Structure 1
Amino acid sequence: MLSAVVCLVVLAFSWPTATLNPKDVPIAISGPSEALAPVEQAINEQADGMFELVEVTDRDEAVQQIKTRQVYGAIILDQEPEVLTASAAGSATSAIMTQLHTQLQTMAQQQAAAAAQAAGATDVPEITVPLTDIVPLVETDTRGVGLASAALPLVFGGMIGGIGIAFAVTGAWRRVVSLVVYAVVGGIAIAGIMQGWFGFIGGNFWANAGAFGLTLLAMGATIVGFAALFGRPGIAVGPVLFMLIGNPISGAQFPKEFLASPWGAIGQWLPPGAGNSLLRDTSYFPDANMAFPILVLTGWAALGLILIVIGHFRDQGRAPVDEIPASAATVTATA
């Protein structure tokens, strides 16, 4: 049985990587129709459904969509071709945009050579297509390793808080207060380490602390809630739901579009995925719409707190054996 558990853990953490298959990765594209058609055709033929090309009016709109995390990058085919990327969106998507830049560079050079040959010119001009990073990573974490590495410790943090409070604290309201205090102190402390000490993330410190704290509260409250309702077996919700299921499909290592459908989307409805998405927004994409991950985390936290209260009032209706009055126990024994 222990061997089976080990195999289960290995499968849980390995299968998302083994089944990576990028589909419908949103990329903005802008330019005149005569320039768009051949590029879109070439990309669709070579990518085989990897990209979802979103046509925008100009470069400014493409930049805005990148900053709001509607697309991962953009191809600009105006008078001066350019490829826009966002390394803060993830190393996988950044690598894809780099590949697209190489392809566009090659196509532009081939078109220049064909035009020169048609004109009878002997010299082919050197075409340079710029690759612009619209949302770069911080200088202390240029590869994004630090931000990605925060995902697993954050899950452990939520589990440790929930399990610890479930065992050490009794009483519904004391547990609620303990969870809130743990989330506030833990969120500030983790942000202090990740941003203030190591410099792994950017953005507003208090916004990042809020993202960490809300994630801790969502996971911790859920564990304590199930423990209050089902006793010690309820604590298993944390390792199973958050560690084995939620963490591998959270999108911390690869965007949801890279994961097998529908697991990428499901991962965003669980605290690890919503917490990772919210932290990336507060760190690098303050213009993005953060309503969805905030609502997901708040919903899990509310569910946990409700379960704590339900478990508390249910337990109040039970009379423990050692609280039965002595006179009643004597009468029962005599009868």
Structure 2
Amino acid sequence: MKAAVLGATGMVGRTFVRLLAKHPWFRVEKLVASERSAGKKYGELVEDSPEEFRDVEVISLPEFLKDPDVDLVFNALPASISKEVEEELAQNLPVFTNARSHRYDPDVPILIPEVNREHLNLIEVQREKRDWEGFIVTNPNCSTAILTVSLAALRGFGIIEVNVATMQAISGAGYSGLSALAIQDNVIPLIQGEEWKIENESRKILGELDGGEIKPAGFKISAIATRVPVLHGHTEAVFIKLEEGSLGEVREAFESFDPLRDLGLPSYERPIVYSDVPQPRLHRDRGRGLTVTVGRLEESKGGFKYVVTGHNLVRGAAGGSVLNAEMAYRLGYLK
């Protein structure tokens, strides 16, 4: 299937391009970026471009919108311009997006295939409601993605309450999102809007699809988000209260969580690996960046505590979106 990557020169866009190189199902034919990048070879703009894309000429967004001529779109554009672009494209094309613009629409899934693949059924609701041939599927905020994969392994025990503190890599702010001087020798104790996203997206993702709408999960969740001087890989300290489950059972749930192993998705990797001391520098590239590492599991007063780390640009962004497209393809939504 022919694909386009929007925002192909940004941090998430570059990750899309790298992950889609030589993909067995999706062939990237159009790389879309800003007007100032249009007309240049991708290799001129991105030094570490995969060889197969080095000589591909980048086109502007207006030029692409005139004649998309692809079968699906991966969007890494900023949220500030994504809403209208996605809605225009989704009239005829499937759009898999990293932007937050439509995450909170009732008829748009925030998808993590290992967690809530049944939410893809919202595609039919979306098409009927909006009179579209295509659709929009979003992936979560990067910290939400890493957290929610770990929570999904435990939902069988009945989640009552979650408290999480994130330590987020600087690449999550994008190329121009944070000055070098601001983050050196420092921790930034606020990421605007991040805590709200974690709290609300997690409950939607883990919610139940009922009669064409998602009923958010009923557990309480509170988050505090910080930025730390790590290049890639978000780390999260989690405290969780469960209705039942022993320490051994919780660890076994983490270690055995592998819900899509038999579906043959090209990008699929085991979603969770248990390791005693998760660290971003050591573990962010595990499973090609799609595996989160859980460890430090201990009983705590009234519940359990653990640490989870994962690659914010892969599991938390482009890699999750590619996996979403593969899941949609496998379930017959891409033709």
Q: Report the structure, 1 or 2, having the larger strand content.
A: 2
Structure number with the higher helix fraction is 1
Q: TM-score range by the shorter chain?
A: under 0.3
Name the TM-score, length of structure 2 as normaliser: 0.26
Q: TM-score, normalization: structure 1? A: 0.26
